[in-house]
Amino acid sequence: MKLSDITNVLSFAAFRPDPDDSSCIWRKRFPNKQSLLLNFSKESVSWRSISKEGNLGEENSVTGPLKEVVQDMSGDWLELTDGGWCTISINHRFVISLETNLTRKNGASELIRTNPKAVLGSKSERGKRYALKHNDESNSSILLAVDEDYIKEIETLFKSFGLKIGRICCGIYGMLSESLDQIYEAQKDYNENGSEPLGDVISVTCCEGSVCILKSDQEKWLELRSRNSLYTQKDMEPLSKVMAPMLEDLGTNAQIVLSMDRSAEGVRQMISEIAPNIRINDISDSYGLWNLLKNK
């Protein structure tokens, strides 16, 4: 045994995950080191640093094509990191769909990343990378598909400027998944203590101009609509047109669960106008996406 091995054990270094170990949460991969969180939409890039103490820095953003932004900002970003490590959230060139009867064999959610055809069968497309979230109470699943060329383009671009990517994820998909986990726990508590059946629950997730709306009845996921790069803060009309058919004619016992980022300011008022008699549970957090990137 080498002396360095003994030293690593004594200092707990042997038990720390590698920076590129995506199976471990982000903040544990960089103890006492700076790293960077970045969020991409079609027309802008925003970012926050994480200090050596694990605290989030101020949010900054730049409008422009990704290649130009990275070229202009890479030097500043490198100074915000130890070693150039960053995690990236994309909100462009993805599809989120509702599927049924996908395999649920052990490890399917991990297998789909390396061998999607083994999980999706004929639904698998070449040139796509996937993520999967099952409904534990029914045969439905939410499937994320992202263009592989887009991911490779980002990886090559960042590498050319000395930046190291430890994880690439889809921001709105992560926010939707977190929202569904919260809804599931609330439903369990309601079923144990509620005196009458819980009505329709509509989950509305908005992130960087993209939206995902999921309608459920009790524990069953019934309908999903997802659009990316749909709206801007100056033009919310396209978002209203997508929402309206999902939110109209809801029963009096229905409720809407809203999770949104800063790009969706005014959405709650819009929902109130479309469905004035439906209760809205706003679980939005101003640090929501950033905390997910940091703690997942």
CA distance linking residue 74 with residue 47, whole number of Å: 12
CA distance linking residue 124 with residue 5, whole number of Å: 44
Q: What domains sit in the chain, N to C, each tagged with a CATH number?
A: 3-91+150-170 (3.30.420.40), 94-148 (no CATH), 172-295 (3.30.420.40)
> What integer pLDDT is reported at residue 16 of this predicted model?
56
Residue 44's DSSP bridge partners are 63
Element (DSSP H or E) covering residue 98 = strand 94-100
Is the CA virtual torsion 115, 119, 121, 122 positive or negative? negative
Taking only the tens of pLDDT, the chain with its 296 residues reads: 454 444 444 444 444 566 666 678 888 888 889 999 999 988 899 999 999 999 999 999 999 999 999 999 999 999 999 999 999 999 888 999 999 999 888 888 888 988 999 999 989 999 999 999 999 889 999 999 999 999 999 999 999 999 999 999 999 999 999 999 998 888 877 777 766 667 789 999 999 899 999 999 877 899 999 999 898 888 999 999 999 999 887 877 889 999 998 777 889 999 999 998 899 999 988 778 999 999 88
